[in-house]
A and B are shown apart, each in its own frame.
Chain A
């Protein structure tokens, strides 16, 4: 008799679970796979697909398209994915200008958007939305941590530079929000600039005791190489973007010793992270970057929500996402009220392991750090 009861209970439980998972989830990934900056999108995609492959969940289907880093292309792809492919969830965008072109309209059409990277301030404050989750960070976070680190390391006079575009301005504002010393010089360079001789000459003459720079992708490679060749030896500080795994190889030894701030590093000590790094190397034969880690976390967040709720029950699925009940490669993972993570941000140093340049954690810059815009979000 007792046996029959448990069997019935088990069958019922199976039925309930089956009902919760009955509807398959279709994900549309729009990311940059060609042109300048493709390495970022490829890493995010590979991290995401690694988690998908490991979960081996037949109810999850992913459609991937290349936005070529062009906002108009991204908008077209988003329209196609929503209207034709009928996706439930969108993800993948690397660049903030593309995110601003796609996200507001997608979440307004009641699609979920999970960000693997771009998280502009507009979407964290007044423009926050219940369907929008940033798994990576809020754009200002790593720059704020760099400012916090520079202050605590005792630097008093910083020279700061960034490209002249919205994320560059946010970057310098973020740095200054947590840096309490003087600013020896503040320079905005042209977006995509490749020669920094004029700026480096100014740094040399400025009398600064530290240099903060935010130059993602090829700009950072060019700046680092030229800085090393110039013989200027003022210490460099930057967000992880300038010192990421994907570009360290191209910078070479010039990057050694540079401090950078990141919410992920391959030596964060937890089982999930270890397994992630090992399986990523095994699958793709290269070390993962932080974009790959964001992709991996995003997929696992989505999978955790799929295990709890049906995607067509928007309210329940949203709650399941908000609970963030998954093992993050960053250790603990909590969403703040505007659905951006509250997290520790580390200071890393570029080191050489054998022949490979990589980053090593040397301290914590900001603990349980939330973003500056959460209070403006009424949700």
Chain B
């Protein structure tokens, strides 16, 4: 039971790290440009399809990974220049409407190019198999690699935001849009870069997740909802909040699915314990979100509105 517990902790960590890649882009875009981007999940789908297509074509997962980053970043930049740019000064309802239309366009476009059947994408050969972890249980090597890669990306993102000139501009953009434009920063270009960066992160998550899941049209929307939960918990616009929120959601969801049915089984018969336990487990992250909003209405790391 203890090793199972350890394994589930790792599973929670892995799902949290993947969520962070999605949520960080979403929160950056909202923080810097004040834009609600529902099409963020579509960029995740673009990444997964690009990775699967290029990996199938060239036989190399790594080229696929590069393709996922590029395709999502290019798609993100194009969308920003062609459409999103016109939305910054509109209210959130207009943004939601326009980016929802983008979801439909991306989904049908992808279906038009790749067809309706899910694509095949597999883990690279040398990352298959399992490793024996401390505590003597087997853990899939690829999930371990995802955890490490996810933390590396998170560290890179924190360095980028904290230590580079681009990072300073992004933070300045968050603090006062009008002022940095007045100081001579090319705000249009900054916005395009931030949007492409967020898109690339989503594309990367899509490529990683595509190896363990189904690469299909519409794969982005369930993750998008989770990513929104994460940034609401973490505080909209805060990268640190996105990290803490992602891990919190990852752990809560995994441990809830694992522990709740067991907990109910101690005083209920197995059938109803499973039914009630799994029903409650699927609500758990939303309960956590409601609690956080109740105690800290602007999220864990949010600035006061």
In the assembly, what is the distance between CA of A217 and CA of B215, in Å? 11
Interface centre among A35, A198, A249, A251 (most CB of B within 10 A): A198
CB of B215 within 8 A of CB of A250, answer yes
CB of B270 within 8 A of CB of A190, answer no
| Residue in contact with A252 in the complex, picked from B122, B130, B254, B270, CB distance below 8 Å | B122
CB of A164 within 8 A of CB of B111, answer no
| Residue in contact with B130 in the complex, picked from A35, A205, A217, A231, CB distance below 8 Å | A231
Considering only residues 176-211 of chain A, those with a C-beta below 8 Å from chain B are: 186-190, 192, 194-195, 197-199, 201-202, 204-205
CB of B278 within 8 A of CB of A187, answer yes
CB of A249 within 8 A of CB of B4, answer no
Q: Which residue of A lies closest to B143 (CB)?
A: A197
In the assembly, what is the distance between CA of A39 and CA of B114, in Å? 12
CB of A221 within 8 A of CB of B118, answer yes
Within 8 Å of chain A (Cβ to Cβ): is B129?
yes
Given contacts A188-B274, A198-B257, contact A39 B117 (CB under 8 A): yes
CB of A188 within 8 A of CB of B278, answer yes
Q: Kindly list chain B residues whose C-beta atoms are within 8 Å of the C-beta of A192.
A: 222
Within 8 Å of chain B (Cβ to Cβ): is A36?
yes
CB of A250 within 8 A of CB of B140, answer no
CB of A164 within 8 A of CB of B282, answer yes
Given contacts A194-B222, A229-B140, A231-B140, contact A201 B8 (CB under 8 A): yes
Q: How far is the CB of B20 from chain A (nearest CB, A)?
A: 15
In the assembly, what is the distance between CA of A189 and CA of B217, in Å? 21
In the assembly, what is the distance between CA of A198 and CA of B5, in Å? 10
CB of B107 within 8 A of CB of A218, answer no
Given contacts A225-B212, A249-B120, contact A195 B15 (CB under 8 A): yes
Q: Kindly list chain B residues whose C-beta atoms are within 8 Å of the C-beta of A33.
A: 116
Considering only residues 213-242 of chain A, those with a C-beta below 8 Å from chain B are: 217-219, 221-222, 225-226, 229-231
| Residue in contact with B140 in the complex, picked from A189, A195, A230, CB distance below 8 Å | A230
CB of B122 within 8 A of CB of A225, answer yes
Q: Kindly list chain A residues whose C-beta atoms are within 8 Å of the C-beta of B215.
A: 250
For chain B, the count of residues having a C-beta within 8 Å of the partner chain is: 49
Q: Kindly list chain A residues whose C-beta atoms are within 8 Å of the C-beta of B119.
A: 250
In the assembly, what is the distance between CA of A152 and CA of B244, in Å? 50
Within 8 Å of chain A (Cβ to Cβ): is B192?
no
Number of A-B contacts (CB under 8 A): 125
CB of A226 within 8 A of CB of B122, answer no
CB of A221 within 8 A of CB of B213, answer yes
Within 8 Å of chain B (Cβ to Cβ): is A34?
yes
Q: What are the interface flags for B118-132 relative to A under an 8 Å C-beta threshold, 1 for contact and 0 otherwise?
A: 111011000011100
Q: Which residue of B lies closest to A163 (CB)?
A: B278
Considering only residues 12-32 of chain B, those with a C-beta below 8 Å from chain A are: 14-15
Q: How far is the CB of A166 from chain B (nearest CB, A)?
A: 13
Q: Kindly list chain A residues whose C-beta atoms are within 8 Å of the C-beta of B270.
A: 186
In the assembly, what is the distance between CA of A310 and CA of B260, in Å? 59
CB of B282 within 8 A of CB of A36, answer no
Q: Kindly list chain A residues whose C-beta atoms are within 8 Å of the C-beta of B123.
A: 229
CB of B128 within 8 A of CB of A35, answer no
Considering only residues 66-117 of chain B, those with a C-beta below 8 Å from chain A are: 107-108, 111, 116-117
CB of A247 within 8 A of CB of B11, answer no
In the assembly, what is the distance between CA of A376 and CA of B279, in Å? 30
| Residue in contact with B214 in the complex, picked from A42, A194, A197, A204, CB distance below 8 Å | A194
CB of A205 within 8 A of CB of B4, answer yes
Within 8 Å of chain B (Cβ to Cβ): is A246?
yes
Q: Kindly list chain A residues whose C-beta atoms are within 8 Å of the C-beta of B278.
A: 164, 187-190
Considering only residues 213-247 of chain B, those with a C-beta below 8 Å from chain A are: 213-219, 222-223
Within 8 Å of chain A (Cβ to Cβ): is B275?
yes
CB of A218 within 8 A of CB of B216, answer yes
| Residue in contact with B213 in the complex, picked from A38, A42, A187, A225, CB distance below 8 Å | A225
Within 8 Å of chain A (Cβ to Cβ): is B182?
no
In the assembly, what is the distance between CA of A88 and CA of B122, in Å? 47
Q: Kindly list chain B residues whose C-beta atoms are within 8 Å of the C-beta of A189.
A: 257, 278
6 A-B pairs besides A194-B219, A205-B1, A246-B118 with CB distance below 8 A are A38-B111, A195-B212, A198-B11, A222-B213, A225-B212, A229-B123
Complex A-B: 12 CB contacts under 8 Å: A164-B279, A164-B282, A188-B274, A194-B209, A198-B254, A201-B7, A201-B8, A217-B214, A218-B213, A221-B216, A225-B212, A250-B118
User: Contact residues of B with A, CB < 8 Å?
Assistant: 1, 3-4, 7-8, 11, 14-15, 107-108, 111, 116-120, 122-123, 128-130, 138, 140, 142-143, 209, 211-219, 222-223, 254, 257-258, 261, 270-271, 274-275, 278-279, 281-282
9 closest pairs, A vs B, by CB? Answer: A218-B214, A221-B214, A250-B118, A197-B11, A231-B130, A222-B213, A188-B278, A36-B218, A38-B116
